[in-house]
Each structure stands twice: as structure tokens, then as C-alpha cells.
Amino acid sequence: MDMDNILTTELSSRDDGLAHPSRSKFQRQVQAPTALAASKRDPRIDVIRGMALLMIFVDHIPGNALGLATLRNFGFSDAAEIFVFLAGMSAMLAYAKVFERDGVVCGLSRVIRRWARIYFFHVGLFLTTCVVVSLWTMHYRLQPSFVAPIINAPISGLIHGLLLQALPSYLDILPLYLVLLAAFPLIYFGVRRNIWVALTASATIWLAANLNPNINLPNWIDHGRWFFNPFAWQFLFTIGAALALPAAIEKRSLPRINWLVWLCIVYLGFAFLESAPWADWNLPNLRPIALVTPDKTLLAPLRLLDVLSLAYLLLSSDRLRVLAGKRTFRLFEICGRHSLEVFAVGCVAALLGRLFFRTYGAGIETQIEINVVGIAMMFMVGLWMEKRRTSRSLQSSPGSAWLRGHRNSDFFQPNLPLATSLNLNAIAVGKVST
């Protein structure tokens, strides 16, 4: 629970006490967890990110028929762009107030702790991928594919992997995020000081990477370079952070401008006609222009405009905000809230899916099993993480702390009415109103 919510709750409690002087201090304190549980997070961010994580899982399994229904078939961009854009927004929403309220040291400490956690997750995925592929290919007498250089030279491959210099296919999103998160303090201070200067500097780096693709980081596996060029993708991350700054500092959201909405709709319509797999859908080709697929490594301009148009339509819509908060989208919201853990499980499930497809073929039954099991695993991990988060919030809430500190007070002695005594814990979590 962030500090803004706690402060808001405390102020609300004080106002309630002034408006209702007859209410006791205990009543106000034990109701605090209910107010604290009402999160002020924008549900659209978590819902959209949760959906993006599911699409990344599907897209990471080549030959997956469900991949014909993911975002990449409806525009120039795909779920990866959505993920990075929302990562920029989330970083600003999570750390801007820490820098503002607690100072640079505390802010940097929070960023470093998050960076270390993501790094350990990446190392875990890297080692898991290498071990699983090695054992699987040995058992079924197959040739290892995308991790073959690491298996053939394990010591060198491990060292390069730990240094983020060896990135197997499908394990290159977290390293990109590690670079972007490491740069976030600079992005934050630049945007905070002058948003247009910061965006101009970021755009200049993006343009330089597009004009000279050699501006990239090396990938030891194929003696090439990173699939997600961080010098290009930092622009999308920075834009997301810049757009989130008003919400992080002043609690303002994106304005809904009619002409800009229609411009985005027109562009997205053009992108859909150009990108849709008409042949795979068994439909006539409706492409107005035979454009070459925009480069993903460099985040080509058409891809950048596509994801920004989509993001603006989604994040400036108040109707979508209300819709995203409904119970129907709760599972997606939970997955988006615990994105790191859900993403890691999705990577492992996608790895197993690729191995199953390669070993047993991509028949319809295998596809159904892989997709159902993989998505179910992601939902289950999200639910488990959310249960842990809720439990911790209740245990650390002011009402629960008050109850724990007064277990031996007169209030809890046998002369207390039985009904009130039985309902204390329910009151503390907001289940019984006072």
C-alpha cells in the first residue's frame, strides 16, 4: 500500500471523527483497513498489462494458432510495446512520490531493490531455460536450438549470461527492462526538471539508433546484438514515464481530446489493414499499401505511433477505467499487478510449449492443452501473489495493529458482550460495519 493511500485514509478518518464526534477512537481505527484496502491504482494499467502478459505467452510459442488472435495481428505493434510503455508509467507512479517525499537516497534505494529482484528473476529464467532444454534434448535426442551456444560452451555462456551479454530468444524482455530501470532515475530527474527537454533528448537517442543500427548492445549467443535495442526502446519507456508524471505528482489523468482521438482511430485502422494476416484468416487481402513490416528491434516509427495511438485511446477513456474496475476483469488486473511473477511463469510455460510442439507436433489437442495449462498457471500465480499481498496489508494495517496491541486490555475481557468479541476480527478487515 503506497503512502498516498495511507495519508488519504488518515485524513479521511480525521474528517469522519469531526463529522461524527460520537464515534470512538477504536471505531475509527478498526475501520482503517477497509479504507486502506480501497486502492487508488488505475485499474486500466493493470488490466491492460495483464492482457499483454497473456499475449506474450501465446506469441512466445511459434506455431500457436491462438497467436492469430493476439495484438500483433491488429496493428504494427504487439504486446511487447504495451509492456514497455506501461513499465515506464508504472515506474513513474511507483517511484516519483518516493523521490519527492523521501529524497534521492530513498528513491534510489527503492529502484535498486527492484532492479535486483528483476535481475534475480532473469538469472533464474536463464538457468531454468538452459537446464530444461539441455535435459529435454538429451532425453529425446534432439539438437538444442536457441541455447545451443550456451550448452556447447557452458562456462563461457554462463558468464556472458550473468553479465547480460548472452540473451536467448524469448528471454530478452527482462534484460531490456533492467537497462531501462537502471536509467529511470536520470529519466525521472530529466522529466521532472523539463519534460520537453527530456523527451527531446530521448527522441534524439532513438533517432540515432534508427539511423545507425550498430548503436546497440552485443549478444554473445549469435555474435549479433540485442533483439530489443535499448537505445531505441528507451524512448517508449520515457514517453510512458512522462505521461504518468501528472498522475504521480498531481493526480491528473490524460485529457480526452476529440480530434486526437479520431486521428488515433484513423491511424489504427490503417495499421490494422496493413498488418492483419488476411491469408491466415482465409480472407481477401485488404492491404492498401504493401508496406514492409516495421522493424521491431529499432522500434520503427510506424510501430511507435501505433502503440502510442492505442495507449492514448485506452488511457484517456473514463469509460474504460470504470469497465476495468469491474469484477469481470479482476483476473487480468491481478496478473498485471504481479507482472514479474506472472511473466516468469509464462516464460517457463512457453518454453515447455515450444518443446512439446517440437517433440510431439502442434496438433489441435496439444495446442489446447498447452494454452489452457499455461494461462491457468499464470492466473494461479497471480491469485496466489494477490492473496499474499492482501494478507500482508491486513496484518500491517492500523486497525489490525491496534487490535494486536490491545488483546489484553479491558476491552477484550470476558465482560465484553460475546457478539462484539466474535466480530472484532471481522470489523478489523472491514467485513462488519460499525
Angle value at C-alpha 339, between 337 and 345, nearest 5 degrees: 135
How confident is the model at residue 395, as a pLDDT? 76
How many residues are recorded in the chain? 434
Cα separation, 200 vs 391, in Å, equals 44
Give the pLDDT means over successive 10-residue stretches in the chain (434 positions).
Answer: 42 42 41 41 92 96 94 96 96 92 94 97 96 92 86 92 93 96 96 95 98 95 93 98 80 84 97 94 91 94 97 92 92 96 97 94 93 97 94 71 49 42 42 38
How confident is the model at residue 249, as a pLDDT? 65
Cα separation, 257 vs 248, in Å, equals 21
Cβ distance 311 to 239 under 8 Å? no
Residue 384's contacts (CB-CB under 8 Å, 6 or more residues apart) are none
Q: Which residues pair with 219 in a beta bridge?
A: 224
Q: Number of helices and strands (H, E) in the chain?
A: 20, 2
DSSP letter for 412, please. Answer: G
Write down the pTM of the prediction: 0.82
Phi and psi torsions of 218, nearest 5°: -80, 150
Cα separation, 299 vs 267, in Å, equals 17
